[in-house]
Amino acid sequence: MSDTLDKVKEVIVDVLKVDVGNVTEETRFIEDLKADSMDQFFLIDGFCEKFDITISDEDARKIQTVNDAVTYIDAKLE
């Protein structure tokens, strides 16, 4: 498992208060974890803080799954 995935999961568990066992790469924030728009805002904010990156509003809208977040963050960190 990648370091990025582990850190993304940490943010998700912290923000959404879900069990880490419920979070896989295919997990969808809205459909599977019942995240609302505020939750999504806090997730994106958490990713930015954890990885010291900036995510535009336009890019944030494209991040729908855990894998989307990992792929996006890995690309930003390259």
One pLDDT digit (tens) per residue for the chain, 78 residues: 589 999 999 999 999 999 999 999 999 999 999 999 999 999 999 999 999 999 999 999 999 999 999 999 999 999
| CATH number of the domain within which 63 lies | 1.10.1200.10
39 catalytic? Reply is no
Buried residues in 6-39 as b, exposed as e (16+ CB within 10 A): ebbbebbeebbebeeeebebebebeeebebeeeb
- Domain with 18 in it: 3-77
Intra-chain end-to-end CA distance of the chain, in Å:
18
| Number of folded domains that form the chain | 1
**For the whole prediction, is pTM greater than 0.85?**
yes
pLDDT at 2: 80
Catalytic residue among 19, 36, 52, 57: 36
